[in-house]
Structure formats: C-alpha cells, structure tokens
Structure 1
Amino acid sequence: MISAVSAQRTESFTPTIHDIVARRSVRSVYQPIVDLRTGQTVAFEALARGPAGSHLESPMALFDAARQAGLRDELEWICQATAIRGALDRGLKGTSLFVNIEPETLGAVSPSDLVATLAAGRRSLRLVAEITERALTIRPVELMRGLESLRDAGMAIALDDVGANRDSVAMLPLVNPDVIKLDMGLVQGQPDRTTASYLSAVAAHAEASGAHILAEGIETEKHLITALALGATFGQGWHFARPGPLPEHLPSVSSSLLLDRTHPSIDRDPAAAAFAQRPVNRASKRHLLAISRHLENWALTAPEHPILLAAFQEVRHFTPRSRDRFAGLGAHLPFVAALGVGVAEHPAPGVRGASLAPDDPLTGQWDVVVLGSHFSGALISRDVGDDGPDMDRRFDFVVTHDRDLVTRAARSLMSRIGQNDERRP
C-alpha cells in the first residue's frame, strides 16, 4: 500500500505544462509514410508526446493544457524542434519529415534556444508543414498568408483531414498544397454519392496541380485497397507501422517523397492576365450587372459550396442593395469577400472586406470570381473611364470559365485581404 507521504511525493513530481515547456521535455515518435505502389517507406510523420506515463502524455491533453496556460505557441516550437533533433540525431538527412503545425501559431516567433535546431532541420531535411483542413473555413486569409511564410522558409505544405468538411474543397486551388491527406473516415468508412463527388474534385485538383494524395488510417488490407481506389499513391497507418522510434534502416534520399513543385506567383492585375488570354469585349455596367448577378445566383444554388470574391472599385459602388445581396451570399457560402477603396473589414454579415490603396490596379476593375470544386467562373472587367450616369459607364471585359484563370484571379483578390488594415481609421 502506498502511504499518504509517498502519494504526496509522487504527486509533487507530476509534471505540469509549465514544467514541460520550461524543461523542453517533449518527445517525438515517428510513423512511416509508404509508397502504396511499392510498399517502400518514403517519409516519416513526427508526432508529439508528453512525458511517458504522465497525464499530459497524449498530444490532445498536452496542447489543451498549453492553450489554457497561454503556452501554445512555445509548445508548438518545442515540438517542431524535438522532431527535427530526433530525426537529425538518427541521420535522417534529405528525407521528407512531416511536422504538425497548429494554424493559430503561424507567424509566432520561435524561442531563441530553438533557432539553431530549426535552421538545421530546414537545411538538412525536406520539412513538410502539416496543417489541418478545418483551418480553411475558420480563418482562411490568415492561414494562406501563414502558409506563404512557410513556403518562403523552404517548407512544403500538407493539408490534413481532407474530406472532413466539404466546404473547404473549393479552397484547395488557393492553398495549393503539395500533399493532400485524406481523412481516415474516407478510408475506413462506406463511400456514398457525396463522398464520390468530393473525391472527384480532390482528384481533379491533384491531377491539375501535381499534388500527391496520401491516405491516413490504413489499418487493414481492405483499407489499403480502398485507399488505392480513392486515388492515393501514398499512405500511413497501423497496417504498415505504429508510431514509435525511427527504424534502424532509414530510406535513402533517392527513395524519399519528392516535393519539388513550383508555385505560381500571384498576379497583381487580374484584368491584364485575363485580357492576354481571352477575347476582350466592351459593354455598359447595365449589361455587366446581369452577368454579375448570374454568377452570384449560381454560387447560391450550387451544390458544391463555392467561394466568391468581388472587387467594386470604390466603397460607393458597394451599395445598400449590394450589401444585402452579399449578406445573403455570406450566410450560405464558406467564404465571401468584397474589395474596394474604403471598404470596411466586415462590410456585411458573413462577408470579409479589404480596403484597396488608391493606386491598386483593382481600383479600376469590376471583378466577380466564383470558384467551386467543379465549377469556376469569373467576370473580369476594366473601367474605360467614361463620364456620365453610373449605369452607362463602359467596361472592357472577359467572362471566363477557364479554371486556371479563375483560380489566378481568386488568388489575386485574396492576397489583398488583411494586407492593408493599417490604412483603416
């Protein structure tokens, strides 16, 4: 029997989240990522664990405690550094290493004592930042800005749990991940019509972009067959190995999962890009309004939940009637945005706004961009500069359903959101 004194001593040595963070006493386990065509290990995912046997051993308990204590960002950096240090100590150079990153911590400054380890990892490993899909529908603008900083640091991007939320599939072209990790529910569950439509969109994006599809939760031979049927070429799960120490025999660099895709730059001027590739027409605002309404109505009735972004030149063109229409769009779509000189950060309920600088090329454009998992369409127009009644103003314009052009226009508009908040009063 344990005495009361012994129990008190045992409890006194129970680590708190403050102890764990201060002592950097996080450990990493690693799970292989396998080429489903050959069975060969091509990468590893690092998974964080707290002190063994403690109440904070599980990653969920560990991060919940860190959030409550205000230590989430520091714990995130500790987990990354621990994963990198463990990989480098075992000689895992040149191999792809997936590290989980909480979206809320993107942009946080790393502790000074971890900088050297993090830098060594970026030099010697192929680091892949793994971000959960749910972040796309919570703070998509901030997430995409954070992902750009990760790419600038030399990291590839893996989007985790894809399939858990159908609203996020329209965001795939904007995030443009290097790896799409299918949610284990797709691998272990029963397929239905909705799942088939969703996976069709994922497969189409992967084919067009060159992204890899990776299936999680492969625990049986049946799961493996399902993963292959879903279009996955890579996978992980207990069928191959449980998380644990790195194995004695590590994959060679030549067999590593290669993530060397190039990512297109963002167009500053959507009209210039569209006009260079499509025939340009001219019409009055009165005529273009019908096209704009058609795109908006399609977005509202589409079964695939697209996103919609629009540039209004100036806030005076975002009329009370526009506000009501966009509030209706914002209530039904996963993401809606309105841009223009003087537009507020939240110009209507459920709508994200951006105030354009007076010299921004978009101030001379009226653009409406709708991007869904299957459908894409855009009205991209440039003001000719007429005087006179507003509805008689003429625009040079292009209407396009070319997915590449629509995606480029969406990226261009999205890049302005959150960028110029310092100009707001």
Structure 2
Amino acid sequence: MANRIIATSVLEELLARLPHLRLQLYFKTSLTALSHAMEDQVLASEDAPIIIACFQRERFYRQEAHRYQRIATKSHHVYVLAAPETEFTSCSGDYETVAFDPGDTLSQEWHLTVLGKNYSTCLVCREVQRSPTHRLDVLPPMDAARRFEGIWTFDRQVAATTAEILLNRIREYRPELKEKLREGLV
C-alpha cells in the first residue's frame, strides 16, 4: 500500500486547470451506468486506449474485476486504483493495480478515463458528503442514492488533462512505472 496521502482531489486539480468546466450532480446508479457504457465502448472498439479507473474501495473494484480482465485484452495501458480492504495491492499483471491509502482524497472520488485515438471520454467525480449536522441516529442513505458532483465529457482535451493528472498520481504511488506511464501519454 502507498505510504503517501494526496490531499488535493483530482476534480479540484482538473477545475484549477480548466476553470470553464461546470459541475453536474450524479447518483451512484447513474455513475455505474455511465461507467459500464464507457467500458463497453472500449470492449467494442479496435482502439487500444489508456484506461484509468479509480474505485473508492477494493470491494467496489471486486464487483467489476471481471470487466477489467476483459478490458486488459484491449490495451497495455489499463490502470486500476483502489483503497485496499483485504487483498488489493499495487502490482503488475494483465493490468496495473494501484493501492492508495484510505485517507487519500481518492477514497472519496469516482474516476474513469478513456483516452484513445478514436474515442476519448472521462468521468471525474467526488462524493458529496452529508452535512456535518447529520444526526447519527438516522440511517445512512442507501448505497445507490449516494450523490457525486463532477464532470462527464467526450472532450478530448478534458480527457487528456484528466489522464495526465491521474497518471501523475499513479507515478507518485508506483514510481517504478515511470517509463510505462510516459509511453502511455505519447
């Protein structure tokens, strides 16, 4: 597991670089559907894009691991990030996995970036936290009703900027991938 914690969210960094972007509100169910559609496009294409997926927790990644096994047959540049809970570690296999500290801002974010020659898109979101005055005796919202704010776009410039931000984060966690990460952005 990575020892460092990055306190700036990917969404904040993206908005600082591209301040013209406007946030939208999404529910988890919408993000799941959008992510699956983006992944399906990768699977249906002959393109070999960079794919970067950030899961808040290992358990969310485990629900999608079979999809990423298939996606890895399409590209040598597949990166999956998650906060470990049991067995998730940083390693190289069919695709790169990147474990980050649960205290990192990535644990509150949902990202999927696809940067290819023919198809580019990204989903960059952070979870909207409940009010600090939220009563503790009230049950938390259902998982599907969790809310996120962020950006979903097919704009290649936004996808490329997001990929650069995420690849820089990956380099922080996995410096041994420096050359592979550089080759992915060429």
Please state which band the TM-score falls in when normalised by the shorter chain.
Answer: 0.7 to 0.9
Pairing 1:205-224 to 2, within 5 Å after superposition: none
Q: Tell me, which stretches of 5 or more residues in structure 2 are unaligned?
A: 1-7, 131-139, 176-186
Counterparts of 1:418 and 1:271, CA distance in 2: 18
The structure number with the bigger radius of gyration is 1
**Separation in 2 of the partners of 1:291 and 1:334?**
23
Give the Å deviation of 1:287.
Answer: 1.2
Matched, 1:327 2:53: no
Q: Specify the alignment match of 1:296 in structure 2.
A: 39
SS at match of 1:332: coil
Q: Assess if the C-alpha contact under 8 Å between 1:308 and 1:336 holds in 2.
A: yes
RMSD (Å), alpha carbons: 2.2
CA 1:416–1:310: 2 relative to 1, 3 Å: same
d(CA) in 1 for partners of 2:161, 2:74 = 24
- Give deviations 1:151-186, integer Å, cap 9, x for gaps: xxxxxxxxxxxxxxxxxxxxxxxxxxxxxxxxxxxx
Distance 2:9 2:75 in 1: 25
Q: Aligned residue for 1:172?
A: none
**What displacement does 1:293 show?**
0.6
Where do residues 16-415 of structure 1 align in structure 2 (5 Å cutoff)?
269-275=9-15, 276-319=19-62, 321-342=63-84, 343-346=88-91, 350-386=94-130, 387-415=140-168
Whole-Å Cα distance in 2 between the matches of residues 283 and 421 of structure 1?
30
Question: What TM-score, normalized by structure 1, do the two folds share?
Answer: 0.34
**CA deviation after TM superposition for structure 1 residue 335, in Å:** 1.3
Structure 1 portions without partners, runs of 5+: 1-267
Q: How many residues align?
A: 153
SS of the equivalent of 1:374 reads: coil
How far the C-alpha of 1:274 sits from its partner, in A, is 4.1
- TM-superposed CA distance for 1:353, in Å, is 1.0
Whether the aligned pair in 2 keeps the contact of 1:379 and 1:399 (CA below 8 Å) is yes
The question of whether the paired residues in 1 share the 8 Å contact of 2:76 and 2:95 is answered with no
- Cα-to-partner distance string for 1:246-273 (whole Å, 9 max, x where unaligned): xxxxxxxxxxxxxxxxxxxxxx533124
Q: How many Å separate the matches in 2 of 1:353 and 1:365? A: 17
CA contact (8 A) 1:354 1:416 kept: no
How far apart are the structure 1 equivalents of 2:46 and 2:20? 29
> What's the offset of the Cα at 1:419?
3.4
| Identity rate, percent | 24
Match of 1:148 in 2: none
Pairwise CA distance, 1:367: 0.3
Report SS of the residue matched to 1:377: strand
Distance 2:12 2:89 in 1: 26
Distance in 2 (CA, whole Å) between partners of 1:405 and 1:340 is: 22
Question: What is the match of residue 207 of structure 1?
Answer: none
Matching residue's letter, 2:153? T
Q: Distance in 1 between matches of 2:74 and 2:164?
A: 21
What is the rounded CA distance, in whole Å, between the counterparts of 1:381 and 1:299 in structure 2? 20
The CA distance in 2 between the partners of 1:290 and 1:311, in whole Å, is 15
Q: TM-score, normalised to structure 2's length? A: 0.73
2:90 aligned partner, one-letter code: E
